[in-house]
Chains A and B, each alone.
Chain A
Amino acid sequence: MDRETQLKLLKDMLLARAFEERAAEEYTKGNIAGFLHLYPGEEAVAVGVLNAAGPSDYVVSTYREHVHAMLRGISPDQVMAELFGKKDGCSHGMGGSMHLFDRQKRFMGGYGIVGETFPVATGIAYSIAMKQQPEAVICFFGDGAVNQGTFHESLNMAALWGLPVLFVCENNHYQIGTEIHRHSAVAEVYKRACGYRIPARRIDGMNVLEVYEATGQALQQIYAGTGPQLLEFETYRFRGHSMADPGSYRPKVEVEAFKDQEDPVAIAIRETLPCYPSADEISAAGPDVINKLCSQMDNLGHLDNRQLEALRSEVAQIVDDAVAFALASPEPTLEDAQAYLDCNRQQEVLI
């Protein structure tokens, strides 16, 4: 892989990390509300997959989709503004963190109900296949989603009709708080695809270069018309206390929760609350995706510290600008909301 591509991947991951950390900070300041699902730890998946994707591919994502949206070309300004609920957000303040959309960028939405991405992606693929376009749909989902009926129903139809879908499992091993062995009889997600004769592989989702390569290969086959593929990327999320000690953190959470009885929503969103592990905790848990890529590039002589610092300050500036943009953006009005609801009403006037 050439150095330019590697640098691009690194910058994307740095931006993703910086953006999410800043989102967490803005959440604590009250600028962002509701559910906020953050991506740190999993950057290699989105960055690898979406850098390998073609510009005309469609993306359907979950409620943990800020990074996916930015990688598809939605500006950090617009994503941050949406997180702030502002009119200049990519969903004009109607959707918020979980519901980023951009039709032009073919970013077909973040969906809040687990398992919704499968049928939506299948339908988009059906439409592409009807028109015989050399395009694909990339359908993101978590390991928790594979026990929804829609997973099985959609995989069956996609295989049956040879639809151009790349199913991308971001397996972070947790369905909210339930570890994969406690929610799935078969903990290897890729194995489920064989029930529908869908080619599937399991890839190290912490290694962005592998993610990139595997995705590129899968997409080439899909473009060639061979039907859907499934890639399972094993990854981790650095949220809450889960990364540092996945086996024994629950009692600690309960203890914390007891102390925290004022805000009614606090418990609902405690999963989303930022609590970044220390560098020690991260190294104890395994290699961080960003450190890993840095050392890979270092070995090839593709990166020096000065460059890395320059990249870091560049993304910091982008994130600062995004926050400033979001703060300055106006709030949407009720008239706006009504207009969005009625956006598909043509000339008809309802009584």
Chain B
Amino acid sequence: MAEEMFYWQALNRALYQQMEADDSVFLLGEDVGLYGGSYRVSEGLYARFGEWRVRDTPISEGSFTGLGVGAALLGSRPVVEIMTINFALLALDAIINMATKIPFMSGGQFPMPLVVRTPGGVAKQLAAQHSQRLEQTLMNVPGLRIAVPATPQDAWWQLNQAIRSDEPIIVLEHELLYFSKGEVDTQVEAPPMHRARVHRQGADLTIVTYSRMLQVSLQAAEQLSAQGIEATVIDLRSLRPIDWDSCVQSIEQTHRLLVVEEDSSFAGAGAEIIAGLSERCFYLLDEPPKRLAARELPIAYNGTLEAMSIPRPADIVAAATDLCQTKDAI
């Protein structure tokens, strides 16, 4: 049943399936209609579903995201595409103050089946304003769920689940993942949306990561294996909630934890991951847990500096090797 496709195609298929199945699902955002989406995610949908279900918006992030909130109150299932997470800063009021607060403040009267899809991360020389990873800004909002699909299969599963959910959900995509390819089985039953996925098993350390850093970590794990260090690589798939159990189970075997994130480390996603796992695994850790993250710098336009600013496979190899120094020592 599995079929190889691009990440954007998996998202496109999921949108198509949900829109076909449910008239209340609609998509809105800048250039999602005639243009087909900046990353082709909504390609072909305008022609199939028309302008009321695939709405090209003005550049008005604050208000069109708020519009999504309002529509969700009446039971519509809006999928808001924000062209990049950098523009989502303009929509934080709608996301944080409206989407997550209205169901709560009304004493549970309203559903909020709102999905906000947006790509984040460092792509290729887009400079500081367009190279951000703002997941930490959204993680600290109770009531908001954050899915971070790293593979086409997860993109398919998680977008489908997000649209069916009555909770507000951010689906954090990544510019450099849209054109990554992978097997997608559209028939197989999906795991829970926030369940982490173990991509590789190894006895020496646990690498916890998400989004594009999964691919980077898997590359590093292969190199580590060649030098005798076997890493377990866990893709969190969700940043709120976080599937602690899967991580704890792995640390029970490895006793070493490395968190790899594209974000800066200070108060970043990795800070929460390390804190949560330290609380749960304190007596399992044989070395201080370690974060590998972006430098504490905005991303420079210059390509060399950009590449040096976020973790590369060699950085992960070095950090993991350091962490495993005493693994054979008696």
Contact = CB atoms under 8 A, between A and B. Distances in A.
Q: Which 4 A-B pairs have the closest CB atoms?
A: A96-B301, A147-B58, A264-B179, A34-B125
A114 interface: yes
B62 interface: yes
A228 B69 CA distance: 36
B327 interface: no
Interface string B29-45: 01100111011100100
Interface in B299-323: 300-305, 308
A34 B127 CA distance: 8
Range for the number of chain A residues in contact with chain B: 35 or more
A192 B179 CA distance: 41
B168 to A, nearest CB: 21
Chain B interface mostly: loop
| Chain B residues touching A, range | 35 or more
B304 A331 contact: yes
Interface of A: 33-35, 82, 85-86, 91, 93-99, 111-115, 144-145, 147-149, 175-178, 182-184, 250, 253-254, 257, 261-265, 267-268, 331-334, 337-338, 341
Contact of A183 (B36, B59, B298, B300): B59
A250 B35 contact: yes
Given A99-B129, A147-B58, A178 B31 contact: yes
B301 A34 contact: yes
A147 B62 CA distance: 10
Given A86-B302, A113-B90, A268-B175, A338 B35 contact: no
A35 B126 contact: yes
A341 B298 CA distance: 8
Contacts of A34: 124-127, 130, 301
A263 B179 contact: yes
B126 A145 contact: no
Contacts of A93: 300-302, 305
Given A93-B305, A113-B86, A262-B179, A254 B30 contact: no
30 contacts: A34-B124, A94-B300, A96-B127, A96-B301, A97-B301, A98-B127, A98-B129, A99-B301, A112-B127, A112-B129, A113-B86, A147-B58, A148-B60, A148-B90, A176-B31, A177-B34, A250-B35, A257-B36, A261-B6, A262-B179, A263-B179, A264-B123, A264-B178, A265-B123, A265-B175, A268-B39, A268-B123, A331-B304, A332-B305, A334-B297
- Identify whether the interface residues of A are mostly helix, strand, loop, or mixed: loop
Given A267-B38, A268-B123, A337 B300 contact: yes
